[in-house]
């Protein structure tokens, strides 16, 4: 099978942990332990979140007295792709001796006409009081909005249109390579009036970008792995219920938080609707069980899934070992 898996940025820097490199590298090693068994038997593409990491780098850049202006978000996103990609690359190489692994920096094409650019909504970076936020907005050209009792910077979150390097990823997969890519949804880029690519100050949703990539690669399955075991209806209430099987239509009738589970549900629904294949949401450490239909929330066109036993696994080309 060809499987595309997204792991959340919180899997690499868990809530409450200090952002030390050693801590994140150890978390990356644990993530690899969960994914290596699938990589040994299937074609595998791994994407990852970068929210905590890009927030940390943005704060460092904003407070660097040597800089006239902080580094733009597209540059910070590329930095996190290199950092996290390195940790996952090395972990996979150690877990899969003889298997080729590649971690690549990706760009995600978005439309310059996307209405998100006119209405920034994605919170990034640290919190401020209103006066400080407005002062920084004037100095740095930011958009700022209230986030609960605080104020924060907001940036556009345009819809992903295409992963620019999709053909390269497909070639690597066909050669039996495990590919780590599209970190943080990919570096957001647009085509300017001259037809050239250029980065933009935006954040692409990682799960939506992963779904776009999975569809382009004609993946057999899309797994969005996070720090919760499944999708819940009524999450946080006494009536909360686990959703183990669902159709896209059934999930779309429910309401999910826009900043967390909402984009994941939208991503799996889109993928299943476009391809007729399987998508699932669940815990990172249950990746194998999710694919086997024994854990997580599995979404299919008919809402029924008994496991991959009726699907023919794709063998890894021997010339790639």
pLDDT in tens, 35-56: 999 999 999 999 999 888 887 8
Set 8, 9, 49, 293: catalytic member? 9
Distance of alpha carbon 226 from alpha carbon 23, whole angstroms = 18
9 part of the active site: yes
122 part of the active site: yes
pLDDT in tens, 100-142: 999 999 999 999 999 999 998 888 777 789 999 999 899 888 8
Q: What is the pLDDT of residue 314?
A: 42
Distance of alpha carbon 160 from alpha carbon 319, whole angstroms = 34
Top CATH class of 2-111+157-299 equals alpha beta
**Residue 146 structure tokens:** 């209230």
Span 295-305, mean pLDDT?
Answer: 94
Set 8, 122, 282, 296: catalytic member? 122
Q: What is the pLDDT of residue 161?
A: 97
pLDDT in tens, 194-209: 999 999 999 999 999 9
pLDDT at residue 308 tops 70: no
**Contacts of 263 by beta carbon, 8 Å cutoff, 6+ apart:** 205, 207, 208
Span 277-292, mean pLDDT?
Answer: 96
264 part of the active site: yes
Distance of alpha carbon 94 from alpha carbon 162, whole angstroms = 31
Residue 259 pLDDT class (50, 70, 90 cuts): low
Span 55-82, mean pLDDT?
Answer: 91
pLDDT in tens, 213-235: 999 999 999 999 998 899 998 77
Residue 250 pLDDT class (50, 70, 90 cuts): very high
Q: What is the mean pLDDT of the chain?
A: 90
Domain ranges, ordered by start, for the chain: 2-111+157-299, 121-155
Q: What is the pTM for the complete model shown?
A: 0.89
Q: What is the pLDDT of residue 123?
A: 81
312 part of the active site: no
Q: Are 171 and 44 in contact (CB under 8 A)?
A: no
Residue 233 backbone dihedrals phi, psi, to 5 degrees: -85, 130
Set 8, 49, 50, 264: catalytic member? 264
Instruction: Show the 3-state SS of the chain.
Output: CEEEEEECHHHHCCCCCCCCHHHHHHHHHHHHHHHHHHHHHCEEEEEECCHHHHHHHHHHHHCCCCCCCCCCHHHHHHHHHHHHHHHHHHHHHHHCCCCCEEECCCEEECCCCCHHHHCCCEEEEEEECHHHHHHHHHHHCCEEEEECCEEEEEECCCCCCEECCHHHHHHHHHCCCEEECCHHHCEEEEECCCCCEEECCCCCCHHHHHHHHHHHCCCCEEEEEECCCCEEECCCCCCCEEECEECHHHHHCCCCCCCCHHHHHHHHHHHHHHHCCEEEEEEHHHHHHHHCCCCCEEECCCCCCCCHHHCCCCCCCHHHC
Set 50, 106, 185, 206: catalytic member? 206
């Amino acid at each position: 099978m060809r499987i595309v898996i997204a792991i959340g940025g919180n899997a690499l820097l868990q809530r409450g942990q200090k952002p030390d490199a050693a801590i994140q590298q150890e978390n990356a090693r644990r993530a690899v332990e969960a994914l290596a068994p699938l990589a040994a038997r299937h074609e595998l593409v791994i994407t990852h979140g970068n929210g905590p990491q890009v927030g940390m780098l943005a704060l460092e850049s904003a407070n660097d007295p040597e800089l006239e202006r902080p580094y733009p978000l597209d540059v910070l996103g590329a930095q996190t792709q290199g950092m996290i990609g390195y940790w996952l690359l090395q972990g996979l190489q150690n877990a899969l001796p003889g298997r080729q692994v590649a971690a690549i920096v990706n760009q995600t094409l978005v439309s310059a006409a996307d209405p998100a650019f006119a209405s920034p909504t994605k919170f990034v970076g640290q919190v401020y009081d209103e006066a400080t936020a407005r002062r920084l907005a004037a100095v740095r050209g930011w958009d700022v909005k209230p986030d609960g009792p605080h104020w924060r910077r907001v940036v556009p979150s345009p819809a992903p249109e295409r992963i620019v390097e999709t053909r390269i990823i497909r070639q690597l997969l066909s050669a039996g390579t495990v590919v780590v890519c599209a970190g943080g949804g990919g570096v957001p880029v647009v085509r300017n009036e001259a037809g050239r690519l250029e980065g933009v100050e935006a954040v692409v949703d990682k799960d939506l970008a992963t779904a776009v990539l999975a569809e382009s690669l004609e993946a057999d399955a899309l797994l969005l792995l996070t720090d919760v075991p499944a999708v819940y209806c009524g999450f946080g209430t006494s009536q909360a219920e686990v959703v183990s099987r669902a159709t896209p239509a059934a999930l779309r009738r429910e309401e999910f938080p826009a900043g967390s589970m909402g984009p994941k549900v939208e991503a799996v629904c889109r993928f299943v609707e476009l391809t007729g294949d399987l998508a699932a949401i669940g815990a990172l450490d249950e990746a194998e069980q999710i694919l086997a239909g024994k854990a997580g929330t599995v979404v299919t066109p008919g809402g029924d899934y008994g496991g991959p036993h009726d699907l023919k696994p794709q063998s890894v080309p021997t010339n790639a070992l």
